[in-house]
Structure 1
Amino acid sequence: MRWTILLSAILLFACNKKETQRTTVAKDTIMEIPETTKVVKAEKPENLVPKQYSNERFKEVTVERMDKNKFRVRGKGQIFEANFNWIIEDGHDELKTGFQTTDAGAPEWGNFGFTITVEKKRENSKLTLVLFESSAKDGSRQHELPIVLF
């Protein structure tokens, strides 16, 4: 009888000691009580803020996919006479070309925005949009900013 009471007291004491070290889970956080507190937060999705591209002539350039083959391009450019060119290539061919203007010429940073609709020729190719300034001297591409579309 004594052994039963002693064993019951030990079990009761051991159960009460473990009870103070409970773990509580609430809304993406984990806390241990009472000696240490750990907080683990869930990571935010990376695609909430659009990726921005820049170089010495273009900055804060973002590309937003509007439809399967339609993209909106926005940003700022410090371009001579506010004119710049763009091209879409797939690694083999130039699929589309064009030009745009900013709302201010160099040395100011002018805003621009335009949409592009383009389809892949090859299923496994990557489409790349390249923004660039044409040289007034020889028409060559200067300050290219490549952006992978998909």
Structure 2
Amino acid sequence: MLQILMALILVSSASHYYTGILTSPTESDERLQDNEVFRMVKVRKENMKYKITGEVRLRKGEFFYVVEDGHDELIPATKKKVEPSFPNWSKFEMEVHIPNKKLPNNGTVILYFFEVNNENQRFHTLPIILERS
């Protein structure tokens, strides 16, 4: 019984950070999940624009992002260049705007950060929920 209770507490307290879910995008400076390439990621929503800041540790000096609703890409895969910093972390900031007409009436809008390898496969992916309706 104690093990079940401890597991429930662990899952409920860690689920926000583990999934990369931002429960309320209007809250400023909400910290999201980290991985070995992206950390300290924060999202702030202002008038359908999402201001995103964080730190990256990249060998190539570039990462990609895509915004989708689970079915369609609202913003196609886009390259973001930064100074190569590996093994150190460097700060980044960006702004994403999604037109109202592209937003789903009932669904979730997810931003994915990732790197691409030589075979054009995604890795070190970090999902972040921007909108949930």
The answer, yes or no, to whether TM exceeds 0.5 is yes
Contact 1:104 1:111 in 2 (8 A): no
Distance in 1 (CA, whole Å) between partners of 2:29 and 2:52 is 15
Match of 1:51 among 21, 31, 49: 31
Contact 1:85 1:100 in 2 (8 A): yes
Match of 1:130 among 112, 125, 133: 112
Distance in 1 (CA, whole Å) between partners of 2:109 and 2:103 is 10
Deviation sequence 1:75-120 (CA, Å, 0-9, x none): 0111122100000010001110312123443222111101010134
1:51 CA drift (Å): 2.4
Distance in 2 (CA, whole Å) between partners of 1:49 and 1:63 is 6
Contact 2:65 2:114 in 1 (8 A): yes
Q: Which runs of 5+ in 1 are unaligned?
A: 1-46
Total equivalences in the alignment:
102
1:49 CA drift (Å): 4.8
- The 5-angstrom pairing of residues 102-141 of structure 1 reads 102-119=82-99, 120-135=102-117, 137-141=118-122
Q: Which runs of 5+ in 2 are unaligned?
A: 1-26
Given the superposition, is the C-alpha separation of residues 147 and 101 from structure 1 closer, same or farther in structure 2, using an over 3 Å criterion?
Answer: same
C-alpha RMSD over aligned residues: 1.6
Does 2:117 align with 1:147?
A: no
- Of all paired residues, the percent bearing the same amino acid is 28
TM-score, normalising length: structure 2: 0.70
Contact 1:103 1:112 in 2 (8 A): no
Distance in 2 (CA, whole Å) between partners of 1:130 and 1:74 is 14
- The 5-angstrom pairing of residues 20-59 of structure 1 reads 47=27, 49-59=29-39
Which protein is bigger by CA-based radius of gyration?
A: 1
Match of 1:71, SS state, is: strand
Distance in 2 (CA, whole Å) between partners of 1:134 and 1:104 is 15
What stretches of structure 1 move > 2 A for 4+ residues in a row?
Answer: 101-105, 119-122
TM-score, normalising length: structure 1: 0.62
Match of 1:86, SS state, is: strand
Deviation sequence 1:7-58 (CA, Å, 0-9, x none): xxxxxxxxxxxxxxxxxxxxxxxxxxxxxxxxxxxxxxxx575223311110
